């Protein structure tokens, strides 16, 4: 039985039909025009470019110099995106993540710290590695030549605290050689260890090779043999609570690229 339209329904039907005609026409125009723009390369949005965003990246202190350079390069390649770094000891960064501090990505100086944040981060990628050196005051006035020399009670040695990645690595290499070192202080990040030696507040310390390289006129670096050394790995991951998930993931992906690796290796880091 045919349905009888009330005047109100009839009016609504006519209005709907009137609206659908121009929409269908617009859809046809967009389809054709969009195809033309795509094929001609005239689209204003690069489909392969990450979205613009202001990113906050928590990064280990030993990455300070190299990441400042890497960040500028990334911003140059991605206009409209800003990368702001917050540098600290990895254990401090982990605490910030656990406390819910707003950030988009995290890069630590060890896998242990990153693994402890499995519920807070997306799948991490190791972007570089590093190794330890003994750092002494310029000219090496105390004639330090090996790890064993750090056991001299007359020597003022500064180390990072055991909960700091570089402090944990230092403990590993000293324990492996059955050496007991009594530091005059234990610092919360590697740059503080370097600073103590630079300022003459300590005779020697253990830092990453790349940190010693940032102050060539103030300190000397004593190599630690491979058989006695420890290798630091730097994993990077976007945070699950990031407000810019896609942009954060794109930045982490870029950190693992050949271009970013060149910036890292030019600064003395090793390939992952």
Cα–Cα nearest to 233, from 109, 123, 145: 109
Tokens of 186: 């234990």
Mean pLDDT of 157-177: 97
Same domain, 134 and 189: yes
Same domain, 194 and 125: no
Share the mean pLDDT of the chain. 87
Same domain, 177 and 223: yes
The total of structural domains in the chain comes to 2
Same domain, 148 and 225: yes
Same domain, 252 and 122: yes
Q: How far is CA 21 from the centre of its chain?
A: 52
Please, which pLDDT band fits residue 46 given cuts at 50, 70 and 90? Answer: low
> Is the model's pLDDT at 23 over the cut of 60?
no
> Is the model's pLDDT at 104 over the cut of 80?
yes
pLDDT digit string (tens) for 173-216? 999 999 999 999 999 999 999 999 999 999 999 999 999 999 99
Range of the structural domain that residue 153 is part of: 130-231
| Residue 255, in any domain of the structure | yes
> Is the model's pLDDT at 92 over the cut of 50?
yes
Same domain, 110 and 121: yes
Other CB atoms within a 10 A radius of the CB of residue 65 amount to 16
Same domain, 144 and 204: yes
Cα–Cα nearest to 89, from 166, 180, 201: 166
Tokens of 93: 């960064």
Same domain, 171 and 182: yes
pLDDT score at 268 = 96
pLDDT score at 50 = 83
Same domain, 137 and 213: yes
| Residue 247, in any domain of the structure | yes
Q: State the CATH number of the domain containing residue 242.
A: 3.40.190.10
What dihedral do alpha carbons 61, 62, 65, 68 form, nearest 10°? -50
> Is the model's pLDDT at 30 over the cut of 70?
no
| Residue 27, in any domain of the structure | no
Higher pLDDT, 257 or 37: 257
Same domain, 189 and 244: no
- Give the span between the Cα atoms of 87 and 190, in whole angstroms: 11
Same domain, 109 and 162: no
Q: What is the pTM of this model?
A: 0.81
| Residue 44, in any domain of the structure | no
Mean pLDDT of 70-88: 97
| Residue 238, in any domain of the structure | yes
pLDDT score at 24 = 41
Same domain, 96 and 68: yes
pLDDT digit string (tens) for 124-139? 999 999 999 999 999 9
> Is the model's pLDDT at 48 over the cut of 80?
no
Please, which pLDDT band fits residue 156 given cuts at 50, 70 and 90? Answer: very high
| Residue 95, in any domain of the structure | yes
């Amino acid at each position: 039985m045919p349905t009888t339209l009330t005047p109100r329904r009839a009016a609504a039907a006519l209005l709907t039909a009137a609206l659908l005609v121009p929409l269908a026409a617009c859809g046809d125009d967009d389809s054709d025009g969009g195809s033309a723009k795509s094929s001609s390369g005239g689209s204003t949005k690069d489909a392969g470019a990450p979205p613009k965003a202001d990113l906050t990246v928590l990064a280990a202190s030993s990455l300070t110099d190299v990441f400042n350079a890497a960040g500028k390069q990334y911003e140059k390649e991605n206009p409209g995106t800003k990368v702001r770094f917050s540098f600290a000891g990895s254990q401090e960064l982990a605490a910030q993540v656990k406390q819910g501090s707003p950030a988009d990505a995290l890069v630590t100086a060890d896998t242990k710290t990153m693994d402890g944040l499995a519920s807070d981060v997306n799948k991490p990628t190791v972007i570089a590695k590093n190794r330890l050196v003994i750092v002494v005051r310029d000219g090496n006035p105390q004639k330090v030549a090996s790890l064993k020399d750090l056991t001299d009670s007359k020597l003022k040695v500064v180390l990072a605290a055991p909960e700091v990645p570089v402090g944990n690595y230092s403990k590993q290499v000293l324990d492996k050689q059955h050496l007991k070192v009594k530091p005059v202080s234990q610092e919360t990040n590697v740059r503080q260890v370097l600073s103590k030696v630079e300022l003459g507040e300590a005779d020697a310390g253990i830092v990453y090779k790349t940190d010693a390289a940032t102050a060539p006129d103030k300190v000397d670096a004593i190599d630690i043999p491979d058989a006695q050394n420890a290798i630091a790995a730097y994993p990077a991951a976007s945070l699950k609570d990031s407000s810019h998930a896609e942009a954060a993931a794109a930045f982490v992906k870029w950190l693992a690229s050949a271009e970013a690796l060149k910036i890292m290796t030019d600064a003395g880091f090793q390939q992952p």
